[in-house]
Amino acid sequence: MNMQDEKEKIDKLRLIVQEAENTGNLQLMASILADDLTVIAPGSPVINTKAGGVDFLKSWFDAFTIQISYVSQDIEIREDLAYEWDVYHQTTTDKTTGEKASEVGRILWIYKKCDDQWLQHFIIWNTEN
């Protein structure tokens, strides 16, 4: 396994996530989620499936316009799992009220390799503000 090539694949996934969130593209986002996805988000129940993750994202995309950027801090690959630590900066605009909110936080994405493709397997984040 060429680690540089694998890290470049992870870099591309981060850009896909960023594009999907910034455009509200649910189909694009769903394309990189593992079936056994787990998400732990501040103030939300734990999500344990891809379908649950898609439902969560749909409600988020329906309610808000999102502007988010991710900055990778580190990527570590161990066989069929990859760990990526990022810092994110996000501004959301409520589609009903126009109210804006901004936050900065840290996120851990754990990817797993399925049929030679990296998919998001576990996502956990917290806010710094």
What is the per-residue pLDDT for 128? 86
Whether 100 has a pLDDT exceeding 90, the answer reads: yes
pLDDT digits (tens, 9 = 90+) for 12-41: 999 999 999 999 999 999 999 999 999 999
What are 108's strand-pairing partners?
85, 124
pTM over 0.85: yes
> With b meaning 16 or more CB within 10 Å and e meaning fewer, what string describes 81-105?
ebebebebebebeeeeeeeeeebee
- The domains found in the chain, sorted by start residue, are 3-127 (3.10.450.50)
Task: Indicate the pLDDT class of residue 77, thresholds 50, 70 and 90.
Answer: very high
Task: Indicate the pLDDT class of residue 129, thresholds 50, 70 and 90.
Answer: low
